[in-house]
A and B are shown apart, each in its own frame.
Chain A
């Protein structure tokens, strides 16, 4: 699988999770910095007809907020953000995420960038899709060294939602918050139960039937290369050049 088709596969997989009728409806989705694949998935879901308001936090122009960067958190605090995306330097089998680092606090082994808003957003938004392209035992660990944001909360602790799924470069896991446990949902083309098990540091359930993650249909691929790329090119020029071979300069001309 080449890099480009891999990215399209991840976009299609996340777009399906966004539109999942069984999940809390994604009427307002916020997408943070450096997240071109989740952003493309949101645009795809929206352009296929999902009723989504999309707030892209790092648009250089036309940013969705006018009350400063705290407005995102104020919205989430009120329950006005339905879906958010988080990643992690480490993610464990209970969906805890670590953005602090490894070794002793505050990350004296390998330091990660820091927790950003994760400790708040994971508890206040209605659902979260975890996305980390690197799928290795280094990232997907039995137990994170430090918890930036907890996968589940103790009873009585205010919390609106949990991880819906974890999407990686090898597969899609679904998360069950009542059991604090992932379950393998689909394997990307080229992966097997064994390759995923070998690359995953945490334990998870493996149902008898596991689908192959479907890439975009022809119509979806055309939507992605056309209007989705148009919508993303100003914010993510390098990504658009790499995936669709289109540059911001050519677009501006």
Chain B
């Protein structure tokens, strides 16, 4: 299966969780979704959205986005996100990073909700009718004052997508220390994973590799996409392409510039520049 076949598994209107630009975000997969012309995605930033989300919004693929933030890092605000919001073309549901993590942790445990400290007093609470505040039922006996605490509903995204370093013959994938991807894969109904390469054997039988593995039971489909994170970096294999993100941020400021970006880098699968791969 190639990355375009993987992207074809995501139907119009699907809920799709994506990860931020410091966490093995699947650049090639996002570009394949744009090529496939998917529509009305409900994206979930886990917990923050970046390049892939802005690209999909710019290409008209997204109806709704739930996230703690959208950022292109040093390159600043995500321009297509801001434009779509201003034009009323995008429904935005704001959250805060640990609330997103907590909702996924509830889903991976199979419980309907989990509590979280903090957040009370933020306007986020008033704008989230799906969140509830209760009094802590486990207060020490004799406590006089109420102890309000936030409850968050479990979230099992219909799809999750990320880029891993490798997949083995058993369908296990390796993400190293990026364990937030494991939580996401545990919580998601279907995880679609691009990988840099296939390796022989079973990584769970290697004590050094096993802690960085997401087991095949959580993985629905895998496609090999060499340099598939680019322009996002991949662990210690290749770096974040700041020059490319700068170029994207500059072009995506306008509709024609965004169209030029898509024509140059999205219309057909693209390889990263040699400078980024020098460290390989």
Contact = CB atoms under 8 A, between A and B. Distances in A.
B25 to A, nearest CB: 13
The 6 closest A-B pairs by CB, nearest first: A114-B69, A68-B180, A150-B121, A68-B179, A73-B98, A120-B118
B63 interface: no
Given A69-B180, A111-B86, A106 B122 contact: no
Contact of B146 (A63, A122, A148, A156): A156
B68 interface: yes
Given A66-B177, A68-B180, A158-B147, A114 B120 contact: no
Interface size class of B (residues with CB under 8 A): 35 or more
Interface stretch (B4-12, B232-240, B248-256): B232-240
B48 A66 contact: no
B179 A115 contact: no
Contacts of B182: 68
Contacts of A154: 121
Contacts of A116: 47-48, 68-69, 96-97
A9 B68 CA distance: 32
A234 to B, nearest CB: 11
Contacts of A105: 123, 127
A106 B118 contact: no
B75 to A, nearest CB: 10
Given A111-B86, A148-B123, A68 B118 contact: no
A37 interface: no
A230 to B, nearest CB: 20
A236 to B, nearest CB: 9
A247 interface: no
Interface in B6-49: 22-23, 47-48
Interface size class of A (residues with CB under 8 A): 35 or more
Contacts of B116: 77, 120
A103 B123 CA distance: 14
B117 A113 contact: no
B86 A106 contact: no
B149 A158 contact: yes
A120 B22 CA distance: 21
B105 interface: yes
Nearest to B49: A114
B227 to A, nearest CB: 17
Interface of chain A: mostly helix, strand, loop or mixed: loop
Given A63-B177, A115-B68, A158-B149, A34 B74 contact: yes
Contacts of A123: 117-121
A149 interface: yes
A55 to B, nearest CB: 14
Interface string B178-197: 11111100000000000000
A122 B117 CA distance: 11
A218 interface: no
Nearest to B95: A115
Nearest to A151: B121
Given A63-B177, A106-B127, A150-B121, A156 B68 contact: no
Interface of B: 22-23, 47-48, 67-71, 73-74, 77-78, 81-82, 85-86, 92-99, 101, 105, 116-124, 127, 145-149, 177-183, 233, 236, 239-240
A179 interface: no
A119 B118 contact: yes
A68 B69 contact: no
Interface of A: 33-34, 58, 60-61, 63, 65-70, 73, 76-77, 99-100, 105-108, 111, 113-124, 146-150, 153-158, 238
A120 B94 contact: no
A58 B180 CA distance: 15
A34 B73 CA distance: 7
A70 B105 contact: yes
A106 to B, nearest CB: 5
Contacts of A120: 96-99, 116-119
Contact of B122 (A65, A66, A148, A238): A148
B71 A113 contact: yes
Given A60-B239, A117-B98, A148-B123, A108 B71 contact: no
24 contacts: A33-B22, A68-B180, A68-B181, A68-B182, A69-B47, A73-B101, A105-B127, A114-B48, A114-B71, A115-B124, A116-B96, A117-B68, A118-B96, A119-B99, A119-B124, A120-B96, A120-B98, A124-B117, A147-B121, A147-B122, A153-B121, A154-B121, A158-B147, A158-B149
A157 B92 contact: no
Given A63-B177, A117-B68, A149 B122 contact: yes
Contacts of B101: 68-70, 73
